[in-house]
Amino acid sequence: MATFAGTQQKCMACDKTVYLVDKLTADNRVFHKACFRCHHCKGTLKLSNYNSFEGVLYCRPHYDQLFKRTGSLDKSFEGTPKIKHERLIENESALKLSSVFAGTREKCKGCNNTVYPIERVTVNATSYHRSCFKCCHGGCTISPSNYIAHEGNLYCKHHHIQLFKEKGNYSQLETDRAKTSVNTSSEVADESNLMEQT
Alpha-carbon span 38 to 36, nearest angstrom: 7
**Residue 74 has what pLDDT?**
46
Rounded Cα distance, 24 and 28, in Å: 10
Which of 51-60, 68-77, 94-103 shows the lowest mean pLDDT across its residues? 68-77
**Rg for the chain, CA atoms, rounded:** 24
pLDDT tens-place string over residues 76-88:
444 455 455 444 4
Helical residues (DSSP H) of 11-154, grouped into ranges = 60-67, 73-76, 92-101
Q: Are 59 and 49 in contact (CB under 8 A)?
A: yes
pLDDT in tens, 93-118: 555 555 555 555 788 888 988 888 87
Are 59 and 45 a contacting pair, CB within 8 Å?
Answer: yes
- Whether residue 51 is predicted with pLDDT greater than 80 in this model: the reply is yes
Q: Which residue has the higher pLDDT, 8 or 195?
A: 8
Tens of pLDDT, residue by residue over 131-175, are 888 888 888 878 777 788 888 788 888 888 888 765 555 555 555
Least confident segment among 19-23, 51-55, 144-148, 178-182 = 178-182
Which has the closest alpha carbon to 26: 62, 52, 2? 52
Q: Where are the alpha helices (DSSP H) in the chain?
A: 60-67, 73-76, 92-101, 157-160, 171-197
In which element (H, E) is residue 156 found?
strand 153-156
